[in-house]
Amino acid sequence: MKRLVFVLFLVSRMADAQGALPWGGQALSVPLLATQAGTALFYVSAYTRVGGHTDYDMARQAADAYLTDNPRTPTYLVLGPALTETCDAVPLPSVSRGDGTSSTVSIIGYGSRVSNITKAVGCAASSATLRVSESTNGPIINAWYQGFTVSANHIDAAACGFYGISNSTILDVACGNAVPGADHEVEFGNPSGQVDNISIFNLKAFDNVGGGRGAVLTPQWSAGGLAGAVLGSGATTGYTQQYTRARLVGPGLSSCTTVPALAPIVSSLATVTYPSLPTVVYGFVTGATVIKAGSCSKTAQIYILIQDGVPVMYGMKFTNMVMSRVWNLESTASSYYGEAWLRSSVRNAIVGEHTYTNQTIQVLEYGALNSHFNAFFDSPGEYGAVIYGESGSFSNSIFSWDSTTYLAASGYYLGSATYQKWAITNSQCTNSSANFVSMTTPPGPLLATDPPPSGVTFKDIENCNGTNVVDWPTQVGPQ
């Protein structure tokens, strides 16, 4: 909080200073606004487009050049309350401070619903619209990113990537609109760029295309094979022809020797043009075409999950993040995983996750000793959380869904053969469905009378199947 107050103080008191930017062989005058000795603020509004370089690009070039010459001076880029485009595919700088650490340029905006950084149409694609890259000179420290939205505009492979940073803050930042089929919207850490001791407040992942809701398809079976699908409801919100997809989910899927496949059929009612995508056609789901019949022996608990939106693998991807504190993650992207905590993400505290419909698996947990508090699972597609990491916890989670659409909503999937000190406690639900399954393991759903897997503790897990009973009041699996 002290640092936030400090940054606001910086923005409120300004004076003029002068710097230089090497550009095309000539030195340009750089408007540098400094609040006090040792602090530099570069305002995007003070720059103009030069050729294919936007005002944001020019301000970035100036701030980057200044930091290169003054690596120990806190340097901030200040966005205006409007849409800002970028064309340059230049990561934020990593400049040695001479003491085994590095500096970079911080960015401050007016709020994620007001200030925007958007990839300009016609510019070369890059790995991320906003990227902080790891440095061979040591971790980047004291970076601050606050109050803006980054849109890859369906051009770049990701909206945001934060690598090799330490003791830094991300506050009220949204990242989205990666290219169709991308790996992620936003990522923290990679094998060569660990992220540690980070504070994240109000981070969002999103995509603004699609978002159809309300369609219901019921599978029809013949001799264990998928024969068709009966339409129960077309939609409450229109679906896209290009990005609507369907998959089979549910406990009975484990009985399939060959998994069936189908494709939804969407009518044509309206078209919308997006800057970097082919014209998108919206309509209602009218049925489905069977692509592969498959072979399943237990079809009573197999359901059809319909999803819509530009597909990516991960909304938020935490690849190599350690000992960090996270509040209010909100992933609305049309991703297979809403959040993913991978193996090298360890000892993080995550409070107030809010995952949304349209994600097959809302939280993937492969890390170790990560603690999840007060997660809100909103209409999980297949599972709310899939757990493979050897240790960690979910506490005070809430499940909520539309049981008329998400017929096979499920809580937790425990997929590992071995666990050490995993705990799931005080899990509740706001509504119920006879098809809800609280706990599932590779052999199938766990009954209330079944003990937890080895190394797992259950405590006060509410059964959301309509009975409103609390299963596993306190049970500890073999240790």
DSSP 391-431: EEEEES-EEE--TTT-TT-EEEEE--S--SSEEEEEEEESS
Q: Give me the pLDDT at residue 475, please.
A: 61
Q: How far apart are CA 434 and CA 464, in angstroms?
A: 8
Which of these, 123, 189, 198, 181, lies nearest to 161 by C-alpha position?
189
Q: How far apart are CA 130 and CA 115, in angstroms?
A: 14
Q: Give me the pLDDT at residue 7, please.
A: 38
CB 79 within 8 A of CB 148: yes
CB 356 within 8 A of CB 379: yes
User: How confident is the chain (479 residues) per 10-residue block, as mean pLDDT?
Assistant: 37 32 30 57 95 96 96 95 93 95 96 96 96 90 97 98 96 97 96 92 94 89 96 86 92 90 96 94 96 94 90 95 97 92 95 86 94 92 91 94 64 89 90 78 83 90 71 63
DSSP 127: S
Pairing state between β 256-258 and 169-176? unpaired
Which of these, 72, 2, 69, lies nearest to 37 by C-alpha position?
72
Quickly count: other Cβ atoms within 10 Å of residue 315's Cβ: 32
Q: Give me the pLDDT at residue 476, please.
A: 64
Q: How far apart are CA 316 and CA 53, in angstroms?
A: 29
Q: Give me the pLDDT at residue 28, please.
A: 32
Q: Give me the pLDDT at residue 4, please.
A: 37
Q: Give me the pLDDT at residue 436, please.
A: 77
Edge-to-edge strand list for the sheet holding 165-166: 95-96, 102-103, 140-141, 165-166, 195-196, 321-322
Q: Give me the pLDDT at residue 404, please.
A: 63
The pTM assigned to this predicted structure is 0.89
* Domain boundaries of the chain, sorted by first residue: 2-207+313-351, 216-307, 376-476
Q: How far apart are CA 158 and CA 130, in angstroms?
A: 8
